[in-house]
A and B are shown apart, each in its own frame.
Chain A
Amino acid sequence: MTELSLAPPLREFAAEWLKYRRTWRGSIVIGLVNPLLFLTGIGIIGKLIDSSATGPLGGVSYLTWLAPGLMAASAMQMGFGSGGFGAFRAAAPGGGYRAASATPMSPTDILLGSLLFVTFRLSLLSAGFLLVQALLGAAPTWWAVLTVPAAALTGLAFAAPMAAWGIATKRFSTMQTVFRFVVQPLYLLSGTFFPLSTVPAWLQKVAYASPLWHGVELCRDINLGRLTFAAGAIHGGFLIAMVIAGVLFARVTYRRKLHE
């Protein structure tokens, strides 16, 4: 087995960066407009709540409670898309992977470079989100800055396993179906929009298995400056385990696809 060197993955990163430079303006506008719309649109519901009871929210306003969860959820959506759809497109004829695999770069180099680029985009998305969130007054402490890497980790926990699957799958529509019937329900029901303490206990246990729930909790605790070591270790550990499992799995599928 060859040793992993740093430079070749960075070449894959550079290639994807070159492509991104053509479309970055649009994606930045969308990256700022989306959180602005969601935070104001859904945040107004807080007006209906804050007057009655914020007990289940831990005493903070609904907007402050919602924002970090929504940031993690947006990172999940992007991670799923850039990981799964991205790998599928890049491996298809005309995609960048075919060309890259004809160079001395190994499939693992290509994989790591791609995931590095996904991490970069996730960080950019989350930083934009945090900017809007702070402007709306929903980032109470400086700890909020650390929600950016936490959200990026959440996105990566989806991107790595999805890259493993996306490069191997033959049908694009299967991934779209999974997005519709798995990712969207996760988006809505992982404690992003309402506290899980309001649902029955068995349903809460189901949510604990959702990677997004761990990301949401991690970001929310950080944003409120109340993260304990134990909670950080559990949530962070769960997400890191998903990234590692995804990378190990993707190394196999990348090699199989690109060196077939």
Chain B
Amino acid sequence: MTVTEAIREVASRPRVGTWPLLTRQVYVYRRSWTELVAAVLEPLMYLLTMGVGLGKLVGHAPGLSHVSYAAYVAPGLLAMAVMNAATAETIFGAFDRIKQAKLYDVVIATPMSIAEIVRAELWWATARGVLAGTGFLAAMAAFGLVHSVMSLLIVPASALVALAFAAAGLIAASYVRDWDDFQYVQLVMLPMFLFATTFYPLSVYPRGVQLLVECLPLFHSINLIREPALGAIGGDTVVAVAYLVAMTALCWWFAVRRMTRVLVR
């Protein structure tokens, strides 16, 4: 059976929806509160370190004399927290479900289609991303780093960021062979975290590097969250939304194909 035929076959089955898998996730995760705490605590530690500790030396945000360095770094860390929460679910979690626990080998024998499995994965990862983002936003507010009502837009922005990274993560999970491969995942995520303007603006780089950084999804995710956080929504937000919507659509489509290939051998 070719992949296209397989997709057609599962698409013709009656629809079950994502609900059974989502309830399963809630059931499995109801004791993993440390995951949720860590999702907020880790970026909070970075905020204390970079924003507050180092911020004393840096002073105000580069190029923005009315913004403290902490207020500049915080939205970048929020985007990272959302990315990490979403990809933790679709890279690490999904790898476990696909290849270790072999959960989906069982699920595809039910009326649930592969497209529905993918949708359930993405909804769940998005939920975790939004939870991490909202938790960190509350922490920012407690630190007095939220000044504008526009900051509420960070919640839907987190959803888009989480969805885009979740879809990309699911593709990565379909390629991972065993736990050792996760160091390559780290090799992509770490430089992205360090260089995608989390800690300093794009202007510190020479033009060639700027072009490279502008291709990174985390760069656009940070723009999408930093602009409303600083109370100034402009062209960068529009570009970021377009980038992330396109990334979501493309990765989602490809994730269904990859999952079909992995599950229907």
Q: How far is the CA of A10 from the CA of B204 in the complex (A)?
A: 50
Chain A residue contacts of B46, Cβ below 8 A: 188
Q: How far is the CA of A193 from the CA of B49 in the complex (A)?
A: 7
Chain A residue contacts of B20, Cβ below 8 A: none
Question: Are the CB atoms of A49 and B183 closer together than 8 Å?
Answer: no
Question: Are the CB atoms of A180 and B53 closer together than 8 Å?
Answer: no
Tell whether A42 pairs with B199 under 8 Å between CB atoms, given A180-B34, A189-B45.
Answer: yes
Nearest chain B CB to A197's CB is how many angstroms away? Answer: 9
Q: How far is the CA of A230 from the CA of B48 in the complex (A)?
A: 31
Chain B residue contacts of A49, Cβ below 8 A: 54, 57-58
Q: Is B109 an interface residue when CB atoms closer than 8 A count as contact? A: no
Q: How far is the CA of A165 from the CA of B99 in the complex (A)?
A: 31
Stretch at the interface among A52-60, A89-97, A142-150: A52-60
State which of A54, A185, A194 has its C-beta within 8 Å of the C-beta of B54.
Answer: A194
State which of A26, A38, A41, A48 has its C-beta within 8 Å of the C-beta of B183.
Answer: A26
Q: Is A141 an interface residue when CB atoms closer than 8 A count as contact? A: no
- Number of A-B pairs whose CB atoms are under 8 Å? 78
Chain A residue contacts of B190, Cβ below 8 A: 34, 37
Nearest chain B CB to A31's CB is how many angstroms away? Answer: 11
Question: Are the CB atoms of B49 and A189 closer together than 8 Å?
Answer: yes
Q: How far is the CA of A42 from the CA of B190 in the complex (A)?
A: 12
Question: Are the CB atoms of A48 and B34 closer together than 8 Å?
Answer: no
Mostly, the A contact residues are helix
Q: Is B21 an interface residue when CB atoms closer than 8 A count as contact? A: no
Interface residues in A46-80 (C-beta closer than 8 Å to B): 47-49, 52-54, 56-57, 62
Q: Is B93 an interface residue when CB atoms closer than 8 A count as contact? A: no
Tell whether A188 pairs with B49 under 8 Å between CB atoms, given A45-B58, A48-B58, A52-B57.
Answer: yes
State which of A48, A195, A199 has its C-beta within 8 Å of the C-beta of B62.
Answer: A48
Question: Are the CB atoms of B56 and A42 closer together than 8 Å?
Answer: no
Residue interface mask B24-40, A partner, CB < 8 A = 1: 00000000001000100
Chain A residue contacts of B183, Cβ below 8 A: 26, 30
State which of A57, A184, A189 has its C-beta within 8 Å of the C-beta of B57.
Answer: A57
Chain B interface size band reads: 20 to 34
Of chain A, the residue at the smallest CB distance from B190 is A37
Q: How far is the CA of A194 from the CA of B54 in the complex (A)?
A: 5
Residue interface mask B148-160, A partner, CB < 8 A = 1: 0000000000000
Of chain A, the residue at the smallest CB distance from B199 is A45
Interface residues in A167-194 (C-beta closer than 8 Å to B): 177, 180-181, 184-185, 188-189, 193-194
Residue ranges of A at the interface with B (Cβ–Cβ < 8 Å)? 26, 30, 33-34, 37-38, 40-42, 44-45, 47-49, 52-54, 56-57, 62, 177, 180-181, 184-185, 188-189, 193-195, 198-199
> Could you show 22 A-B contacts with beta carbons less than 8 Å apart?
A34-B190, A37-B191, A38-B194, A41-B195, A42-B194, A45-B50, A45-B200, A48-B200, A48-B204, A56-B57, A57-B57, A177-B34, A180-B34, A180-B38, A180-B42, A184-B45, A189-B48, A193-B53, A193-B54, A194-B57, A198-B57, A199-B53
Residue ranges of B at the interface with A (Cβ–Cβ < 8 Å)? 34, 38, 41-42, 45-46, 48-50, 53-54, 56-59, 62, 69, 180, 183, 187, 190-191, 194-195, 199-200, 204
Given A44-B204, A45-B199, A47-B204, list of 16 further CB < 8 A pairs? A26-B180, A30-B183, A33-B187, A37-B191, A41-B194, A48-B204, A53-B57, A57-B57, A180-B41, A184-B42, A188-B48, A189-B45, A189-B53, A194-B49, A194-B50, A198-B53
